[in-house]
Chain A
C-alpha cells in the first residue's frame, strides 16, 4: 500500500516537473538543479519498486532474477544521475570534464544489467512452453524498425564521431556504446512487446504494458540525446530529461503492476 502511494506521489511529481519544464519557471539554472534531482529521484523510486517486486518471487524463479537485474540497473542509473548532478551543479565541471566522467561507468553498467534482465526473461519464456510470437509474421517490421534506427543513428551521429580526430578513444567508445546498447536492448524489448500483444487483456500483460514503453522511451531518449550532445545542444533542463523521467516512472509502474498481480493471485488462492 505504501508503495502504491509512493508511486502516486511520483506521478504528481512527474506532472509538476513537466509543467516546470514547459513553463521554464526559474530559468536555466533552476532547471539544471530540478532536472538533475528529478532524474535521480525517479530512478531511486523505480529501484525500490523493482526490488520489492523481485522479493515476491522464490529464489529459484527466473522472474526474481529479471526484476533484481532491472533493480540493479536502475540503481546504477540513479547513482550515475547523482554523480552527474554533483559534477554539473556543485563542482561546476566544464563540458569536457562532464563527458566522459565516472558517471559514465555507472551508466554503462546499468545498460548491462538491463540487457541481462530482459535476456533472462526472454530465455525463461522460450523454455516455458508458452506460445512464441510468429517469427515469419513479425521479423520484417522488427527488422525495418531496428534497421531504420541503426541507419539513422549511424548517419546522424556515429559516422561523424568516427571521423572526429579530436575525440579520445574513451569518448569515442562511449559515444558508440550508448546507442549500440540501446539498440541491443530494443531487440528483446520488441520481442517482449510481441508477447504482451499476445497476452491481450490478460492480467499477466499489465507489468509488461508499462515495462515495454518504459524501455522504448528510454532508448529513444538516449538516441535523441546522442544527437543533441553531438550538436553541442544539450544541457540538463532539455525536454529529453522528461523522457528519461517518464521511462523511470513507467519502469517503476511495471514493478508496481507485478506486485499487485502477485498479491491478487495470492489472495484468490488463499
Chain B
C-alpha cells in the first residue's frame, strides 16, 4: 500500500468500514486510470471528486465536499 493510499484509508475507514474502504479506493482509482499503489498527489484532486460522489449518499453533497477537500490536500 502506498503512503497516500494509507492516509486515504485512515480517513475513510471509520465511515465506510474496512472492506468498503478498500473497494472504494480501488474502484475509484481504476476510474481515474491509476493503480492504488501508484497514487501520487497529482491524482488526489480527481480521486477525491470521485469519492465525494459516493460519500454524498450518506453525508449529503456539502459534507462530502469537505471530506473530499481533506483528501485532495493530503500530504
Interface residues of A (CB under 8 A from B): 56-58, 60-64, 121, 124-125, 127-131, 198-205, 261-262, 265-266, 269
| Residues of chain B with a CB closer than 8 A to A203's CB | 14-15
CB distance from A10 to the nearest CB of B (A): 25
A124 to B64, CA, bound (A): 14
Is A63 within 8 A of B16, CB to CB? no
Is B60 within 8 A of A129, CB to CB? no
A130 to B16, CA, bound (A): 10
Q: Check B72 for interface membership: any CB of A closer than 8 A.
A: no
Q: Would you list which residues of chain B between 27 and 75 have a CB under 8 Å from chain A? A: 27-28, 31, 50-51, 53-54, 56-63, 66-67
Other A-B contacts than A62-B56, A201-B18, 15 sampled, CB-CB below 8 A, are A56-B60, A63-B57, A129-B28, A129-B51, A130-B20, A198-B20, A200-B18, A202-B14, A202-B17, A202-B18, A205-B17, A261-B59, A262-B60, A265-B59, A269-B67
A199 to B50, CA, bound (A): 18
A78 to B19, CA, bound (A): 39
A266 to B57, CA, bound (A): 15
User: Would you mind naming 8 contact pairs between A and B with Cβ atoms under 8 Å apart?
Assistant: A58-B61, A61-B56, A130-B54, A131-B26, A198-B17, A201-B18, A202-B18, A266-B63
Which single member of B20, B50, B58 contacts A63 (CB below 8 Å)? B58
Is B31 within 8 A of A200, CB to CB? no
Chain B interface: which size bin?
20 to 34
A167 to B50, CA, bound (A): 55
CB-CB nearest in chain B for A127: B53
Is A128 within 8 A of B60, CB to CB? no
| Residues of chain A with a CB closer than 8 A to B53's CB | 127-129
A59 to B17, CA, bound (A): 27
Q: Check B24 for interface membership: any CB of A closer than 8 A.
A: yes
Is A58 within 8 A of B54, CB to CB? no
CB distance from A208 to the nearest CB of B (A): 9
Is A131 within 8 A of B20, CB to CB? yes
| Residues of chain A with a CB closer than 8 A to B57's CB | 62-63, 121, 124-125, 128, 130
| Residues of chain A with a CB closer than 8 A to B16's CB | 199, 202, 204
Is B61 within 8 A of A201, CB to CB? no
| Residues of chain A with a CB closer than 8 A to B62's CB | 58
| Residues of chain A with a CB closer than 8 A to B27's CB | 129-131
A198 to B51, CA, bound (A): 16
CB-CB nearest in chain A for B13: A202
Q: Check B5 for interface membership: any CB of A closer than 8 A.
A: no
Listed from nearest, the 10 A-B pairs whose CB atoms lie closest are A202-B17, A200-B17, A130-B54, A131-B23, A57-B60, A128-B54, A204-B58, A61-B60, A202-B16, A199-B17
Given contacts A130-B24, A131-B27, whether A202 and B15 have CB atoms under 8 Å apart is yes
CB distance from A120 to the nearest CB of B (A): 10
